[in-house]
Amino acid sequence: MKTVFAVAILILMAGSNCALATNYSMGCVEKYSGATGFTTADDVSLTCDATDGFSFWFNLFGGHRLRFYWHDTLVWPSDYTEDSFGGNDVNEIDWSSADLNVFSGHGSCQNPPTASSPDFIVTAKNGIGRGPNFVNINASLRLGEFPGSGVFGSNGNLNTLMINASCPMDLVSLTTQWWPVFQGLHLAMGHSGDVNHDNLDSAQKLPTVGLYLGPFFGSSYRTAWMSAGLIDVQSGVCAVITATGRTEAEAELRRDFETPTNRIPDALPPTWIAWRWVCS
């Protein structure tokens, strides 16, 4: 095992983009009721505490750059939606120097999900109603399309998407719902569950992930999400991390060893998807 690890590190270091800092952005929604179509029954309590705590550890000494941190009704569906689909991700989470985006808010669960069940994140833009704020991940997100991809433009650069919500990455539909999203995106992580097996509203999970990824502990995304992703979840929930690459080895290398500051350079088109999950 140590040999596998050593080889992986060597490969990663040989071809990696070592950066001292990352550009990250965050969006959190607690007060959905500020947007038309939602009521106070939709509000949550700790999703912004969670991102505050994540950022506290992740950027403890200001070494990273927080570009945008939208709260509540400033978290819009267009922030996540591919610009060639009519969204504005090019100026938001998928801007040209984007490294990491963290979303913390509602997802939407099926009971149970099937292979064709869509995954969602739920934003809170005022004035457009409830339905348009349900962002269908498969239909709307195309991330990381840097110059050369050509399919959805060449203006995105997001490397990592982290979602703290209910059921945004259901395992059963992972390869159908998430595969098209990876247009250069390296990694995405979220939770799999259903109505009765939920990711809890928590101010401990994301801060612990931030502690693991921060400047001191310095772990990979895989270690952080697999170790701390099950804090405050109900039994039956899984923490899931997914990556893509041109080869199986590249996809696995990204999934298992990328860190915020040590990434394999972009190279399209990906043909392999690698995923890993841990269940409570």
Partner 1 sequence: MTLPSEIRQAIRLVCCAAALCLAPVAQAQDTAAEPAATLKQRDISGEEQGDLSKRIRERFPQTSGKEAKVSAAGPFRFAATEQWHYMDRSDTESVAFEDSGYGIGKQPLDAAAIQQDSLLPHLEAAMLKAGLNPEGKRFLRFQDEFSASAEPRLLPPTFDPSKAGTHVARTAFYERMVEGVPVFGSELIVGLLPDGSIGRLRMHWPKVDPQFIDSARVLQKMVQSDRWKVPPSLHRKETEILEVSAGVGHSGIATPGFKMAPVVRVLYRTQSRDRKYPLQTTGYKYFEERGQEVRFDSFPRVSATPAARKPKLSKAAK
Considering only 14-22, 142-150, 154-162, 245-253, which stretch makes contact with partner 1 by CB under 8 A? Answer: 245-253
**Residue numbers 32-51 binding partner 1 by CB under 8 A:** 32, 38-39, 41-46, 49, 51
Considering only 15-23, 146-154, 155-163, 247-255, which stretch makes contact with partner 1 by CB under 8 A?
A: 247-255
* Residue 172 near residue 119 (C-beta atoms within 8 A): no
CA dist., res. 111 & res. 194, Å (int): 5
Helix axis angle for 2-15 and 248-257, nearest 10°, is 100
Question: 162-182 burial, b for 16+ CB within 10 Å, e for fewer?
Answer: bbbbbbbbbbbbbeebbebbb
Should residue 17 be labelled a site residue for partner 1 when binding is judged by CB under 8 A? no
CB of residue 108 vs partner 1: minimum separation in angstroms? 6
**How many angstroms separate the CA atoms of 213 and 225, rounded?**
9
Single out the residue of 198, 261, 263, 268 in contact with partner 1 (rule: CB under 8 A).
198
Please report whether residue 267 would count as binding partner 1 according to CB under 8 A: no
For partner 1, what does the binding mask look like between residues 158 and 187, x meaning CB under 8 A?
--------x----xxxxx---x--------
Q: What's the closest the beta carbon of residue 70 comes to partner 1, in angstroms?
A: 6
Query: What are the structure tokens assigned to 232, written together?
Result: 């405050």
User: In the set 31, 64, 106, 186, which binds partner 1 (CB under 8 A)?
Assistant: 106
* Residue of 11, 34, 68, 96 that binds partner 1 (CB under 8 A): 68
Q: Give CA–CA dist 34/240, Å, rounded.
A: 31
7 contacts: CB under 8 Å, gap ≥ 6: none
Q: Does 122 bind partner 1 (CB under 8 A)?
A: yes
Q: Does 230 bind partner 1 (CB under 8 A)?
A: yes
3-class DSSP state of 83: helix
Among 16, 22, 31, 70, binds partner 1 (CB under 8 A): 70
- As measured in angstroms, the least distance from the Cβ of 99 to partner 1 is 17
3-state SS assignment for residue 101: strand
As a whole number of angstroms, the distance between CA 8 and CA 25 comes to 29
Q: Interface with partner 1 includes 201 (CB under 8 A)?
A: yes
Does 203 sit near partner 1 (CB under 8 A)?
yes
Of residues 126 through 145, those in contact with partner 1 by CB under 8 A are: 128, 130-132, 134
3-state secondary structure of 204: coil
